[in-house]
A and B are shown apart, each in its own frame.
Chain A
């Protein structure tokens, strides 16, 4: 799955499983274990791949966590 970051920052927090992320504005890979976060602080596309059944919570600036909970489901982020 991928997410286009139009208004950074966007915070990716792995709440379950293990997720691999890349951000086309940032070189390198990012692997998030449960409880770890990646902050996309620039515009661009973030591609994520779940190594196992995983959940990723996305949060934007000034948006409460409870309002933006997603679930990794079959390679796509969907509202939980």
Chain B
């Protein structure tokens, strides 16, 4: 894609710290998944308290969820595993102590399910382009 969404609950980061977290997530995507840094979008959102439950119980401490979206068939299992390891370390660094489990997800979308400029990647792949 490449895009990552970091969802935090019960964790308040100062704007500069939130910006640093977004930058580090993009760097991790570059290093682990091989995504180009300049094309990588990261969104960090902070939820209000009470909206995060685990096992039916409202979280009593900070919780996080990280989801990265990439194109299906472009990443190896080793790359995805490395990303999950590094993101876990990163979240520990920025957000500890975190409620467990903290899930890290790599979503893989087919070329027909995302796009830019008003066309899917599948369409762009077939279309003649200038250059």
A18 within 8 A of B: yes
The answer to whether B34 touches A33, judged by C-beta atoms less than 8 angstroms apart, is no
Which residues of chain A from 27 to 51 have any CB-CB distance to chain B below 8 Å in the complex?
Answer: 30-36, 38, 47, 49-51
Our pick among A38, A50, A75 for the contact of B79 (Cβ within 8 Å) is A75
Closest approach, in angstroms, between the C-beta of B40 and any C-beta of chain A?
Answer: 10
The answer to whether B125 touches A33, judged by C-beta atoms less than 8 angstroms apart, is yes
The answer to whether A51 touches B121, judged by C-beta atoms less than 8 angstroms apart, is yes
- How many chain B residues touch A (CB < 8 A): the figure is 23
The answer to whether B79 touches A74, judged by C-beta atoms less than 8 angstroms apart, is yes
The interface-forming segment of B6-14, B47-55, B70-78, B94-102 is: B70-78
Give chain B residues whose Cβ lies under 8 Å from the Cβ of A49: 34-36, 39
Give chain B residues whose Cβ lies under 8 Å from the Cβ of A76: 34
The answer to whether A75 touches B128, judged by C-beta atoms less than 8 angstroms apart, is no
B111 within 8 A of A: yes
* Proximity bits, B80-123, A CB within 8 Å = 1, else 0: 00000000000000000000000000000001000000000110
Number of A-B residue pairs having CB atoms within 8 Å of each other in the complex:
73
Complex: A38 Cα to B129 Cα, angstroms: 12
Complex: A74 Cα to B70 Cα, angstroms: 11
A25 within 8 A of B: no
Using a CB–CB distance below 8 Å, which chain A residues touch chain B?
1, 16-18, 20, 22, 30-36, 38, 47, 49-54, 72-76
15 intermolecular pairs with C-beta atoms under 8 Å apart: A18-B111, A20-B36, A22-B36, A31-B124, A33-B127, A50-B71, A51-B71, A51-B74, A51-B111, A51-B124, A52-B111, A53-B74, A73-B76, A75-B75, A75-B79
With A32-B131, A34-B125 known, 8 other A-B pairs at CB within 8 A are A18-B121, A20-B36, A31-B131, A36-B129, A36-B131, A52-B122, A74-B75, A75-B33
